[in-house]
Amino acid sequence: MGQIVLLDDLTINKIAAGEVIERPANVVKELLENSIDAGATKVVIEIKKGGKNLIKVIDNGKGIEREDIPLAIERHATSKIRKVEDLEKVYSMGFRGEALASIAAISKFTIISKTHDKEFGTQVICEEGNIIQAEDIPAKDGTSMIVENLFFNVPVRYKFLKQDSTEFRYIKELVQNMALANPTVSIKLINDGKLVFGTNGNGKLKDLIYLFYGKEVLENSIEVDYEEGSIKITGIIGTTLIARDTRKDQITFLNGRNIKSNLLSSSGDQAFKSGGTGIGKFGFYILNLKMPADFYDINVHPTKRDVRFKNEEDVFRVFYNAIKTSMLNREFLGNNQLEDNKKEYINKEFNFLTSNFNNKKENTSLNAFKNSNSNIEYRKPKIYNIEKNLGVEKRLLNNDTDKTNIPNSLMNKSEDEFIKREKSRKVNYKFIGILFRTYIVVEVDEDIYLIDQHAAHERLLYEQIKDNFKNKLQNNTQMTLIPEIVNLTNKEAEFVKNNVDLFKNSGFDIEEFGVNSYKINGVPDIEYKEKISNKALFMDTLDEMITGERSNFKDIEERFIATVACKAAVKANMDLTKNEVDYLINNLLILKNPYTCPHGRPTTIKFDKNEFKLDQID
């Protein structure tokens, strides 16, 4: 007798349920998606015992016709597609026709539904996938789906469920995400008889951000509204002040469907680099991508969370551009004038971070950096007076101070205009002083701003060094009067040998000088000479880079440049003159990206006048 047999329908449905329904949250997902597909504007979700005892979803959608309800609980029965070609134009949340059959197979399942043109509704009760009762009853327009005793006939699956509070936490997170994706739908969540939250369905995403995340997140969020070709991306991203330790608050929707995509996660990570988050942090975002259905395949897994894009490179780039463009649209020191000419800056940032940057001669990949010593021009060394006579620069960038009084210590000498705005922001500020020898205090209108002198100068230097690095500009090395010798450990020497082009293309002129020794002939021509020696700049940069040695090459490049800028920038407790303060502020006002240092530390912090509650004296 043969060993292969056909499984019975109940067993088949239980197997399907194992793929679609892993826990109560999956039931809520399927039923809530059905409500949204039905055009509901109001949905009430009631949970008991973490969804194990009861899941009830009531909506005011179009309802199900009486004769369609028995068919709805059959496998692969759906109203959303008719043939395989329809999969390329599916915009509904569901389409596989497996969810209701799977739920009915492992619970006591009740459907009550009424269409608007009928006088009565219909109630159908199922157990283990079989209809045990069907009758007409009075009902409101819409559908109520009631799931009781989930997994009562699948004890193995029930055994692996977690505590009621944990299962409800999964449900709450899912419903919250669905509400964020559908702000025009009013959704109410009730747990064990208590209202957890209710959204008003007014279509305002910011109201939902305030409800779910609070005032701090709302105040530190940036609106995203970006369109390129047939792809439109809307939602919000967070500033560096609300960056997270995990990806938990990176939420992505595709045409309203909550999805997970390593491609989009990677694109977001790249977009938040160089200042969008701190080191080891992840950017906060809630973004909805809208694109034609034939641009992607959602039919990868029964849960429909995994997605494949037909043109991954385009989607990766557009997602990056949406985040980066929005980051550069923020106000700065009270000025909210948008910069129209951001495209070139963003494109070059993208190309640099993704190893696709091409300058006029060659690509900046690792191989292209070989034998690049010819890029360093040997010039007569500059003489720096360590008694604080730092010299002057006879060039002024949108500054009304004396043109012969600009300090070299804060000069950004990049000539590539893509890092600068077409027009400097116009800000009338009043210099108050420097707090704790660290924070520059200025008054703008009725607000007070603290400017972190280290973070601000670090951003200026970072843009300059990166510009030189990417474009392989000459004249970016300041030769020393007397070369310095540094003796390294084996690990340090190996890192320098493997990454010598990083040092050279950032402005260091170094050469081997015996075993584990290097001679420093020159350093990047941006160093704040008063406070740090050439050797210290080299060693501090090397020490910090050693910890990230196992990063990929592009991460090492970006991190190296940020480290050099950090080590060369003015530090806390360094005294700045009024001219240096003016120069620093006015150079920030002309940058396209002045908001944070490359490590994510904000350059400015704003305080409203109302935050200074001073007692009135009669």
What is the structure's pLDDT at 358? 39
**What are the DSSP E strand ranges found in 13-172?**
42-48, 54-59, 108-114, 121-127, 130-137, 142-148
Q: Residue 604 in contact with residue 450, Cβ under 8 Å?
A: yes
Per-residue pLDDT at 611: 75
What's the pLDDT score for residue 14? 53
Q: Is the dihedral of CA 420, 471, 269, 304 positive or negative?
A: positive
pLDDT of res. 7: 53
Cβ(508)–Cβ(477) under 8 Å?
Answer: yes
Contact, 485 vs 473, CB < 8 A? no
State the Cα–Cα distance between residues 617 and 387, nearest whole angstrom. Answer: 47
Q: Is the pTM of this model over 0.85?
A: no
Specify the pLDDT at position 547: 72
Cα torsion angle, 324, 330, 333, 335, sign: positive
Report pLDDT digits (tens) over 454-473: 999 999 999 888 887 876 65
User: Which candidate, 482, 500, 455, places its Cα nearest to that of 591?
Assistant: 455
87-91, 229-233, 236-240, 374-378: least confidently modelled range: 374-378
Looking at residue 107, its pLDDT comes to 93
Q: pLDDT grade, residue 505 (50/70/90)?
A: confident
What's the pLDDT tens digit per position in 115-173? 999 999 999 999 988 899 999 999 999 999 999 999 998 888 899 999 999 999 999 99
Kindly tell me if the per-residue pLDDT of 603 is higher than 80: yes
Mean pLDDT of the chain: 81
Q: Are 263 and 312 in contact (CB under 8 A)?
A: yes
Q: CA 161 to CA 169: how far, in whole Å?
A: 13
| Residue 83 pLDDT | 40
Q: What's the confidence (pLDDT) of residue 36?
A: 93
The 10s digit of each residue's pLDDT in 515-570 is 999 999 988 877 454 556 788 889 988 988 887 555 555 677 888 888 889 988 99
pLDDT of residue 149: 95
pLDDT tens per residue, range 6-35: 656 655 555 555 456 889 999 999 999 999
Q: Over the stretch 362-394, which tens digit does the pLDDT of each residue have?
A: 333 333 223 333 332 323 333 222 223 222 222
Print burial letters for 406-425: b (CB count within 10 Å at least 16), e (below 16): bbbbbbbebebebbbbeebb
Report the alpha-carbon angle 347-348-353, nearest 5.
Answer: 100
Q: How big is the chain, counted in residues?
A: 618
* Alpha-carbon gap, residue 506 to 476, rounded angstroms: 8
Residue type, 411: M
Q: How confident is the model at residue 89 (pLDDT cuts 50, 70, 90)?
A: low
Domains for the chain: give ranges and CATH numbers: 9-194 (3.30.565.10), 205-327 (3.30.230.10), 343-607 (3.30.1540.20)
